[in-house]
Structure 1
Amino acid sequence: MKTLLISLLGSGLLLTSCSTSKRINALKPEPGNTTDVVYQKSTSFISLPVTVAVADLETQTNKFVNGLVYEDNNIKDDDVMLKVWKTAPIKFTEKNGRLQIVIPVKVNGQVRYGTTAMGIDMHDTREFDLAANITFNSSIGLKNWQMTSDTKLENLEWTESPSVTVAGKKIPVTYLINPTIKLFKTRIENELDNAIKESVNLKPQVLDALQTMSKPFKVNEQYETWFQMMPTELYVTDAKLSKKQITMNMGLKCTMETTVGQPPKGAFKKESIVLKAVSAMPEKVNAVVAAVSTYSSASAMITKNFQGQEFGDGKRKVVVQKVDLWSKDNKMIVALEMTGSINGTIYLTGIPNYNAVTKEIFFDQMDYILDTKSALMRTANWMASGIILKKIQENCRYSIKENLEEGKKNMQPYLNNYSPMAGVYLNGTLDDFEFDKIELTNNAIIAFIKGSGKINLKVDGMK
């Protein structure tokens, strides 16, 4: 039995030494000691020129100003009692950069005339009805998300002079009624200012739109790629009236992120957004997208590149079965698990870079880690060849071209007459993205890509 065991062991050693397949044992480089996925997201700035048609402001104001607009039931204080109704739609026109507002009104009232002598009341009252067109002039502004105005009565045109009939004769009472105009003019001015304020309140619409836009959406099924825009601040210039429309420039400060694998976890908080007034806004959209590839997802994509390929010299060949990636000292560690003429895992190091032509992430200055090179020199010197290393390096890359194109494609519907709500339209253009930089975290490669374009928001036909 002892002789048989020695014989079998000897045969095993002989088989091992004659085998064409050798085992490589290289020391595995440990990953960097960071534990959290923390990286600095770059800030993007989107300029949104906003236009609101004067006709829409007119439509909305008419909804708020209706029916009875002024009522005075006390005749004793000034000998006049009045009720004023709006009789037809209010008309808005632009005049020298201000709003001219015309309100047709009907006035029903009672006028008291006469005297009091020796303690005897000798007054009489007469009821009258008349019509007038009241013209107001208003400046337009924007404050705390809402349209503001400063409305003043400019002109009152009576259809006929106010008068009452006494004993068959018409007696003018303009001298009594005109002073009361001061009373209801202030009331109507305030009514108009409040109506304009309520008509264009940007806050709920803008915040709802931003909340919708901030939700992550998948831009590529194959690579499990997600895109998210996270608003952080809003800016706005003062409103200006010109060419039958009110214009203002709104700016959105945000971060844009593209992730591979799991969707971004950031949550938009409406209550944290503040509208800040500024004097001017750039016209162009400046966007920086963080394209995040987790090491696990990048490893899976690169492993696919090696499928069906052999690397070697003559009969000595290896096949890469699996690729693993991690970072160490701001460099990428590439672990290649292989079978064939040698079995085991070899380790390479490289610097991640971006090819703007092919839109690929690749690893530059790739080389064997020192311990791996020593092991190869001992067991498979042919594998240490620069030619084989170059061929391996060619496969250590993955494209984000489809991700960027798909992201741009998915953003196009939001730039082509997109209507988040009735009467609100978004249009714009987006240029191609350009590479900015790459950063490494403990478990992700982040490529920052810059882009630019133009976006405008128009309010037309708001209901």
Structure 2
Amino acid sequence: MKYLKFIQIKSMKIFSIPRILKFSILMIFVLIMMIIFSSRAAFKGIDIEPKMPELISANTLQPERSESILNLPVKIPLTNIQKALNLNISKKFSGTEADPTDLLSNDTLTYEINRKDLSIGTQNNLITFSVPISGTARIKGKVNLGFTKIPVSARTNIAGTIFGDLSLGIDNEWNIQPNLNVSTNLTKADVPIKNVGTISIRSILKKQVDKAINKEKPKLIAELVEKLNLKTEVTKQWNNLHLSERVNQDPSIWIKTEPQSVSFKEFDLSDGENVQSGIAIKMFVDTCICKEAPVVNFKPLPNLIIQDQIIDKFLINLPVQVSVDELNNTLQSEVRGKSLSVDENLKVIVNEINLSPLGEKILVKVDFKTDKGSLLQGAKGILYLWGKIFYDQESNNLKVVELDYDVDTKNALLSTADSLLKPVLLQQIEERLSFPLDKELNRAKDEANKYIQQIKLPPEIDANIEVKKIEVEKVVVTNNDIFLVLLADGNMAAILNLEDRE
């Protein structure tokens, strides 16, 4: 009996061990197959279709304040000043003087002098002018010969020139300060007296004409100040530069400018044809992509700041929209059908990549399939990635960087094809999201010129404004669009036309 029991126990041991082993081996095999299925997705025909990220509510680009200087060189043609002088210097000088000379007794001098049109020039930063004069004079009196007095009545012709110079200044309260000097030079003014000879009346007439001109000088200066009233002209420009202009409809782009200070270059006559100066207006420039017009805070024209030099350049910040369609077209031509290597056993073929600005980020949609020889053979679908826009100044390229999977895409890959989560795939996609900006900057230059032409200037300012150079200050994604915030560098040449006032 003991033997039999021993035999039974022994038999149990012999048959129980193989069953456990078989069960363990079976469980290990099933586990391995599950791991292979989940991590390697060895089965064909996997479709990865994550939910597309929802549209993030669009933001508006808040106004970004920049400080810009609008430099306006001014040329006042000397012909304008010549016209003012011709209008306001008397065309005729006449008068009668009693006892003008000691050579005659009870004498009177009557004269009438007419001037022609004056001509002006420049010398030593002064406006110089001269005008020919001519006329007649008659003298009446008696020649005292000691034993008798002989009545005299003689007439003579007069010739000479009125000449002078004018300097211009301006103070910080915008007051034009002209300094006018006028004198007369007579080359012919001698009266013949029969049996006596000639009597020169040049000094007498010069004194009288100079006296008459000096009497008119305050009026003449007032007319010049009125003619050259830059404060009135600049005030028009200053007021018009308080503007809020919509320069683009879709998207709605507004430019707001608020002038802050004015600098002025002292008058310069070195070119011989113009009174040259310059006005530099420092202003705040706000650009915004918004539906409503930004509110403008008005500031009255301040006192002048006098400086040595004004150049014909200006700087202004402008947002210019990037064409996402063009970026995507460029992208398709470069990536469609291209292979991305995840590892030696897995290659991804790109069918299409599309960029969509959403909120303040870039959504990258990758339509893909796996290579025939890959472990994920037959897998296909969509990957949604988020990235940030970046401007690489060194290469002048617009790039999408810091790529990462959208949450739904990541979850889908974790459950079906986690091999695609390897960073090397994101890196290769990111390398292809780089766009040269040369074409966009050329278009942006045209856009900037169009925007700037809409800045209002007074009609007296005949200005030619042109953008010469464009630099990218930064790139922003907002309102579901991509914008280059540009620094536009250009010049402005102008003539200040001072028309006659009635």
Structure 1 length as normaliser, TM-score? 0.62
Q: How does 1:410-421 map to 2 (within 5 A)?
A: none
- Find the aligned partners of 1:151 and 1:19 in 2 and give their Cα distance: 97
Cα separation, 2, equivalents of 1:140 and 1:40: 41
Measure the CA separation in 1 of the matches of 2:403 and 2:490: 36
Kindly indicate whether residue 83 of structure 2 is the aligned counterpart of residue 57 of structure 1.
Answer: no
Report matched runs for 1:129-208 at 5 Å. Answer: 129-142=157-170, 149-153=178-182, 155-161=183-189, 163=191, 175=204, 178-179=207-208, 181-187=210-216, 190-191=219-220, 194=223, 198=227
Classify the secondary structure of the residue corresponding to 1:292: strand
Partner of 1:348: 386
Give deviations 1:385-408, integer Å, cap 9, x for gaps: 323322332343444322434666
Residue 348 of structure 1 deviates from its aligned partner by 1.0
Q: Does 1:44 align with 2:72?
A: no
Relative to structure 1, the CA distance from residue 231 to residue 127 in structure 2 (aligned partners, 3 Å threshold; closer, same or farther) is farther
In the TM superposition, what are the counterparts of 1:31-110 in structure 2 within 5 Å?
A: 31=57, 34=59, 36-45=60-69, 47=71, 56-58=77-79, 61-62=82-83, 65=86, 69-71=90-92, 84-94=113-123, 96-108=124-136
> 1:346 is aligned with what amino acid?
Y
The verdict on how the C-alpha distance between 1:27 and 1:405 changes in structure 2, with shifts beyond 3 A counting, is closer
Superposed, 1:241-320 pairs within 5 Å as 241-242=269-270, 244=272, 246-253=275-282, 276-281=304-309, 285=313, 287-293=315-321, 297-307=322-332, 309-310=336-337, 317=349, 319-320=351-352
Task: Choose which of 373, 385, 388 in structure 1 pairs with 2:422.
Answer: 385
Give deviations 1:397-432, integer Å, cap 9, x for gaps: 4443224346669999x9xxxxxx9xx9989996x6
| Alpha-carbon separation, structure 1, partners of 2:66 and 2:476 | 12
Change over 3 Å in CA distance of 1:255–1:406 after alignment to 2: farther
CA distance in 2, matches of 1:399, 1:185: 70
Structure 1 residue 57: deviation in Å? Answer: 1.0
Alpha-carbon RMSD? 5.9
TM-superposed deviation, 1:136: 1.6
Quick one: distance in 2 between partners of 1:200 and 1:151? 17
Cα deviations by residue, 1:30-60 (Å, 9 ceiling, x for unpaired): 346x4x44231433335555566xxx51575
SS at match of 2:424: helix
Deviation at 1:342, TM superposition (A): 4.5
Aligned with 1:238 (options 257, 266, 286): 266
Offset of residue 325 of structure 1 = 0.8
The percentage of counterpart residues that share the same residue type is: 13
Matched-pair contact (CA < 8 Å) for 2:387–2:401: no
| Corresponding position of 1:324 | 356
In structure 2, stretches of 5+ residues that fail to align are: 1-42, 100-107, 143-150, 370-378, 453-458, 497-502
Q: 1: distance between equivalents of 2:168 and 2:88? A: 25
Instruction: Give 1:151 shift.
Output: 0.6
Q: Is the 8 A contact 1:251 1:281 kept in 2?
A: no
Q: Conserved in 1, the CA contact under 8 Å of 2:166 and 2:180?
A: yes
Listed as ranges, the matches of 1:333-412 within 5 Å are: 333-336=362-365, 338=367, 341-343=379-381, 346-350=384-388, 352-405=389-442
For residues 402 and 475 of structure 2, what CA distance do their matches in structure 1 show? 15
Give the CA deviation at 1:380: 3.9
**What amino acid maps onto 1:301 in structure 2?**
E
Rounded to whole Å, the distance in 2 between the matches of 1:386 and 1:26 is 21
AA paired with 1:181? D
Q: Residue type of the partner of 2:384?
A: I
Of 30, 54, 70, the match for 1:28: 54
Note the C-alpha offset of 1:283. 5.2
In structure 2, relative to structure 1, the CA distance for the partners of 1:454 and 1:70 (3 Å cut) is: closer
1:349 counterpart letter in structure 2: G
Q: Provide Cα deviations, 1:214-273, integer angstroms capped at 9, x if missing partner.
A: 99999xxxxx9x9999794653222134474644343244678999x99xx99x9xx988
Amino acid at match of 2:223: N
Query: What are structure 1's unaligned runs of at least 5 residues?
Result: 1-16, 115-122, 219-223, 415-420
How far does the alpha carbon of each residue in 1:336-376 deviate from its partner, in whole angstroms, 9 at most, with x for none?
274765445624132x2211233222222222234432233
TM-score by length of 2: 0.58
Shift of 1:190: 4.3
The secondary structure found in structure 1 opposite 2:90 is: strand
Following superposition, the deviation at residue 302 of structure 1 comes to 3.1
CA distance in 2, matches of 1:30, 1:216: 26
CA distance in 1, matches of 2:136, 2:218: 20
Alpha-carbon distance, 1:61 to partner: 0.5
* CA separation of 1:24 and 1:58: change in aligned 2, threshold 3 A: closer
**Gap change, CA 1:454 and 1:37, over 3 Å in 2:** closer
| Structure 1 letter corresponding to 2:185 | E
Is this contact kept in 2: 1:229–1:254, CA < 8 A?
no
CA 278–61 in structure 1, closer or farther in 2 if over 3 Å, else same: same
1:342·1:380 contact (CA, 8 Å) conserved in 2? no
- The 10-residue stretch of structure 1 (448-457 or 38-47) with the greater mean CA deviation from structure 2: 448-457
1:137 is matched by which residue type in structure 2?
A: D
